Amino acid sequence: METFFAITVQLSKGMSTSLQIFALTLLFSIPLGLFVAFGRMSKHGLLRGITKVYISIMRGTPLMLQLYAVYFGPFILFGLPLTIQYRATATIIAFSINYAAYFAEIYRGGIESMPSGQYEAAEVLGLGKVHTFVRIILPQVIKRILPSITNEIITLVKDTSLAYAIAYTEMFTLAKQISSARGSLVPVFVAGLFYYIFNFVVAFIMERVEKRLSYYEIK
């Protein structure tokens, strides 16, 4: 038990880094994904094409490769120095643009699944497009896409470990370092336990949110 707590204390810095990657990625990728979804559904062919290519690249290439591109790209293209501080920035940028692409497709699927009659009814009532979307369509879309969003969020928790690709020390990287120094796999399993607990908490919270949004169900 003493060993477990000692390892947990050693992993605390890595835990906070993983939580930071998780929180900031959601903060930036969720709204960015909505804008990308609008671009994907735009009537303007050029904008629609650009967002379609962006989504295709983000979903069709490994996140690790995108981390390399964001981190090493400025150095290769412009000769900018690779600083330790930029590792954190590059990690958040790469994670955010990657997950924004996935969220965009989830948003698009939810928005396009809404019956066109709701837009027509709102127009008859004199509501503008923005008002219709924000007050009528978006709440229903959120309810429909929440399970898919939950799956992506759970995946994000585990994907934070990929930050090791650019030597950004999050929890799993730190666990491997401690494991190597101790000659024991216990730190790795402790990190795995943290990921499980983190995902359990996320799933529990999202399940509660889903129940709160079940206002269309007949009791």
Note the pLDDT tens digit of each residue in 41-83: 998 999 999 999 999 999 999 999 999 999 999 999 988 888 8
More confident residue, 33 or 128: 33
Count of the separate structural domains present in the chain: 1
Q: Give the model's pLDDT for residue 1.
A: 57
Domain of 23, CATH number, reads 1.10.3720.10
Whether 6 is in a domain gets the answer yes
Q: Give the model's pLDDT for residue 218.
A: 42
Tokens 């898919």 belong to 148
Residues 104 and 141 sit within 8 Å (Cβ to Cβ) = no
Tokens of 50: 């650009």
Whether 219 is in a domain gets the answer no
Judged against a pLDDT cut of 90, whether residue 133 lies above it is answered with no
The alpha-helical segments, DSSP class H, found in 113-185 are: 116-124, 129-132, 138-159, 171-182
Residues 203 and 154 sit within 8 Å (Cβ to Cβ) = yes
Whether 186 is in a domain gets the answer yes
Percent of the residues in the chain that have a pLDDT greater than 90, as a whole number: 53
- Cα 96 from chain centroid (whole Å): 6
More confident residue, 149 or 218: 149
Q: Give the model's pLDDT for residue 136.
A: 80
Whether 139 is in a domain gets the answer yes
Q: Which amino acid is at 142?
A: I
Domain range holding 7? 2-212
Whether 218 is in a domain gets the answer no
> pTM to 2 decimals?
0.89
Q: Give the model's pLDDT for residue 5.
A: 78
Judged against a pLDDT cut of 60, whether residue 216 lies above it is answered with no
Which is nearest to 174 in space by CA: 22, 19, 14? 14
